[in-house]
Structure 1
């Protein structure tokens, strides 16, 4: 099944290499995974390369222990001339347990040309069923 443009879902496993000295997801690693999801969602919608302009907010709601599955969901919530706001949530779970929101954030992404200059996002190809 194909994801709608501007929406991405990534799966990850919290392994010891992603953990801090408490055995939970290290905040920097969580932020990196969120940034990756935001990038992929924005690039999917813009149909061109994007860069991160800002992180408006990140909340580390709850810890995720080593062994937890991590689902990152990102979607473009606003489209400007060349910029996009991407919402990202992170849900952690163990097999047989309901997912719990552990991360959330807002990322500002900008569509760029080959020289890294902002360019317009052409949304003419978007249909009305695509959530923004």
Structure 2
């Protein structure tokens, strides 16, 4: 993971219990990985908890076989009063082969207080690259 307002990177390996009947990453697990990366990137910028309000444009570009290493990269592309847009891409790597883009999506995240209600994102936390 990187600095509070920079991109977040996560790595994981695809295990058999995350696969579908074809031996590749089940889409539900792919969405879960992407949502986790979006949450971490959003929380880093907002400096408070965030929840997912929506997902758009999710694409599964290629199958990800069991044993591949999946690297997810998430960054905040827009910050509003209480919400933000987080872009996520996923790269898969098989031993001895170059990384290939396999997933991408856009997540809308909302900053929330302890009761789970939307709360304003303090501008002092936002870097110039994010704003």
Q: TM tier, shorter chain?
A: over 0.9
Q: Which residue of 2 aligns with 1:91?
A: 91
1:77 matched to which residue of 2? 77
Deviation of residue 35 (structure 1)?
A: 0.3
Which residue is 1:120 aligned to? 120
Give, in angstroms, the shift of residue 126 of structure 1.
Answer: 3.2
Task: Provide, for residues 19-68 of structure 1, a one-character-per-residue CA deviation record: whole Å limited to 9, x for no partner.
Answer: 10000000000000000000010001100011000012210000011111
Superposed displacement of residue 75, structure 1 = 0.4
1:12 matched residue in structure 2: 12
- Indicate if the aligned counterparts of 2:45 and 2:125 stay in contact, CA closer than 8 A: no
Mind listing any 5+ residue stretches in structure 2 that lack a counterpart? none
Farther off after superposition, 28-37 or 118-127: 118-127
Alpha-carbon distance, 1:131 to partner: 4.5
Counterpart residue number, 1:108:
108
* C-alpha distance in 2 between matches for 1:42 and 1:125: 11
Q: Equivalent residue of 2:124, what SS?
A: coil
Contact 2:49 2:113 in 1 (8 A): yes
| 2:88/2:106 contact within 8 Å kept | yes
Aligned twin of 1:32: 32
**Which residue is 2:67 aligned to?**
67
Structure 1 gaps of 5+ residues are none
2:58 maps to what in 1? 58
Q: Mean alpha-carbon deviation: is it higher for 106-115 or for 118-127?
A: 118-127
Q: 1:131 to 1:79 in 2, by over 3 A?
A: closer
TM-score (norm 1): 0.93
